[in-house]
Amino acid sequence: AASPAAPARRALRGRAASLSGNPFLADGCLDHVEDALILIEDGRIAAFGPYAETAGRLQADVPVEHYENALILPGLIDTHVHYPQLQVIASYGEQLLAWLHAYTFPAELQFADSAHAERVAKLFFREILGAGTTTAMVYCTVHPGSVEAFFAESERFNTRMIAGKVLMDRNAPAALLDTAQRGYDESKALIACWHGRGRQLYAVTPRFAGSCTPAQLDAAGALLDEHDGLFLQTHLSENTDEVAWVMSLFPDRASYLDIYAHSGLVRPRSVFGHAIHVGEEEFCTCHATGAALAHCPTSNGFLGSGLFRLFDALDPRRPVRVGLGTDVGAGTTLSLLKTLGEAYKVAALRGAKLDAARAFWLATLGGAEALRLDDRIGRIAPGYEADLCVLDLAATPLLGFRTGLCEDIEDLLFVLMTLGDHRTVRATWVAGECVYDARRAGAPLRY
C-alpha cells in the first residue's frame, strides 16, 4: 500500500494571545504568551506554547515564520456581512427602509450577471483577508449564481465560510424576487452542492420578515429540518420604523422574533442581525433556544438604527450568544478591529465599558460560539484549525509609538482595537497557509 503523504508542517513564532473562554462569564480567559511557537500540521494547530518549551517539537526542516513586534491572534470572525453590498458602502443620507430601496436593491439586481458576482466576490476576499478576517457569515443575493461565485472564491483560499442565497418573495423590485417554492428549490440545490464541501457551510437566508411571506419563512424552516448542520441568518428589530411595519405584516405574532419562531427558525446555528429594539423576553428566547445575535455597531451608527444592548444580551443570568458583524454595505468597514473600536463607543454611549478581553472574544471565540464552530475555530489551541491573523504593532508611526507605551496585554489589545484597521494586519493564515502578507511586494494575497 502507498505510504500516506508526509504531513504539511508550518510554524509561527511571536507574541500571541487567544481567549480560552467567555470573559463576560468568567475571569482569566485571556491566554498570552510573550514569545510563542505555534506548530501546524495539515492545516491544524499541533502545538502552542512558549518557544522555550515548544521548540523541542520543531522538526529541523520546518520553516519558522518569525513575526517580530507583532501579535498573533486567532483569525477574526465576522458573523454578519453582505458581500454584494461592497458597492453601496458609504451611500448617503437614508435610514434602513429607504436605504434598501434607494441603494441596496438596485445594486443587488446587478448580481443576475454571474461575471459581476465573480468580480465582487474576488474583491471581497481580498479585502477581508487583508483585514485579518478568516471566517464570515455572508448574505449573497437572490441569484444562485451569486452563491456559486462566493463559494468558488472561498474554495480557492480554503477559508471556512458560511453563506446562502437570499430568500425574498415580496416588497422589493420584481427582478429581485423569488417565490417560496423557487427559493426552496434553489436553496436545496445549493445545499447539495456546497454544504460541507471542504470548509464551506450553507446558511438558509430569508432576508427579513419584511421581504418574506409566511409561506417563504415556513419553507426556510423546512430546509433546516431536512439537512443536518445548516445555518439560518436573517435580520431582527434593526430600526423602529422597520419594526412597526413588519409587525403590521404579521399582526398575529407577539413579537418580531416570534414571527421567526413560528416558522421554526429560532434554534441553534440561527444568527439574527442587529436585535436593537428587543426586550427581555426576546433575550430569554435566544438564551433558551441557543440562537445567536450579531452586533453590528458601524452599521447601526451609520443608518441611525440605535445602540445594541451588549451587556444586557450577555447578562450572566441568561447569556445570549453574540458575535460581531461588519454588516457591509450598511456597515462602514470590513475591518473587525475598527468594528471593535465602534463597539466600545456604543457601549460607552450606554454607560458601559467594553474591555479588550471581552472585545477580542467577540471578534474570535465569541463569534465561533455564536456559529457553534467553537470546537474548531476562534482559538489558538491544539486541534483547532490554523486560521490566524498577525498584527503589526508598528504598522504606522503613531501605532508604533502608542503600542510602545503599553504595559500589559490588555493595554495593548485596547490600543489595537481603538487605532487598528486593515493597515495593522501584517499577515493572515488560513488552514495553515499564509494567504496574505502585507510585505509581499506587489501581490500581498496568495492564491
Q: Which residues bind ligand GUN (CB under 6 A)?
A: 82, 96, 100, 104, 207-208, 235, 238, 299, 327, 330
Q: Which does 159 bind (CB under 5 to 8 A by kind): ligand GUN, Zn ion, none?
A: none
Question: 3-state class of 437 per DSSP?
Answer: strand
What pairs with residue 68 in β-bridges?
A: none
Q: Which does 393 bind (CB under 5 to 8 A by kind): ligand GUN, Zn ion, none?
A: none
Q: Using CA atoms, how far apart are residues 84 and 254, in angstroms rounded to an integer? A: 33
HSE at residue 410, side-chain half, CA atoms within 13 A, is 9
DSSP 174: G
Residue 166 Cβ vs ligand GUN, minimum distance, rounded to whole Å: 8
Per CB under 5 A, the segment of 129-137, 250-258, 322-330, 356-364 that binds Zn ion is 322-330
DSSP 100: I
Q: Which does 270 bind (CB under 5 to 8 A by kind): Zn ion, ligand GUN, none?
A: none
Residue 286 Cβ vs ligand GUN, minimum distance, rounded to whole Å: 18
Considering only residues 259 to 278 of the shown chain, the ones binding Zn ion according to CB under 5 A are 273
Residue 212 Cβ vs ligand GUN, minimum distance, rounded to whole Å: 10
Q: Using CA atoms, how far apart are residues 180 and 189, in angstroms rounded to an integer? A: 15
342 forms part of the interface with Zn ion (CB under 5 A):
no
Q: Which does 207 bind (CB under 5 to 8 A by kind): ligand GUN, Zn ion, none?
A: ligand GUN
Q: Which does 301 bind (CB under 5 to 8 A by kind): Zn ion, ligand GUN, none?
A: none
| Lookup: cell for 114 | 454571474
> Is there a contact between 319 and 22 (Cβ–Cβ < 8 Å)?
yes
Report the residue number, 137 or 224, with the smaller CB distance to Zn ion: 137
**To which H or E segment does residue 182 belong?**
helix 180-194
Report the residue number, 80 or 195, with the smaller CB distance to Zn ion: 80
Report the residue number, 268 or 304, with the smaller CB distance to ligand GUN: 304
Q: Which does 199 bind (CB under 5 to 8 A by kind): ligand GUN, Zn ion, none?
A: none
Residue 99 Cβ vs ligand GUN, minimum distance, rounded to whole Å: 8
Report the residue number, 144 or 301, with the smaller CB distance to ligand GUN: 301
Q: Using CA atoms, how far apart are residues 280 and 282, in angstroms rounded to an integer? A: 6
Residue 103 Cβ vs Zn ion, minimum distance, rounded to whole Å: 13
Q: Which does 158 bind (CB under 5 to 8 A by kind): Zn ion, ligand GUN, none?
A: none
Residue 420 CB partners (closer than 8 Å, separation 6+): 335, 337, 338, 341, 391, 395, 399
Q: Which does 390 bind (CB under 5 to 8 A by kind): Zn ion, ligand GUN, none?
A: none
Q: Using CA atoms, how far apart are residues 130 and 124, in angstroms rounded to an integer? A: 10
Per CB under 5 A, the segment of 113-121, 225-233, 324-332, 406-414 that binds Zn ion is 324-332
Q: Which of 327, 385, 392, 421 binds Zn ion (CB under 5 A)?
A: 327
Phi, psi (5° rounding) for residue 302?
A: -65, -45
Q: Cite the beta strand spans of 190-301 per DSSP E.
A: 200-206, 231-236, 270-274, 292-295
> Is there a contact between 142 and 180 (Cβ–Cβ < 8 Å)?
no
Residue 22 Cβ vs ligand GUN, minimum distance, rounded to whole Å: 26
Residue 104 Cβ vs ligand GUN, minimum distance, rounded to whole Å: 5
Residue 238 Cβ vs Zn ion, minimum distance, rounded to whole Å: 8
**To which H or E segment does residue 46 belong?**
strand 44-50
Residue 224 Cβ vs Zn ion, minimum distance, rounded to whole Å: 20
Q: Which long-range contacts (CB under 8 A, 24 or more apart) does 179-184 make?
A: 179/216, 180/213, 180/215, 180/216, 180/218, 180/219, 181/219, 183/142, 183/216, 183/219, 184/219, 184/222, 184/223
Q: Which does 238 bind (CB under 5 to 8 A by kind): Zn ion, ligand GUN, none?
A: ligand GUN
> Is there a contact between 271 and 294 (Cβ–Cβ < 8 Å)?
yes
Q: Residues interacting with Zn ion, by CB under 5 A?
A: 273, 327
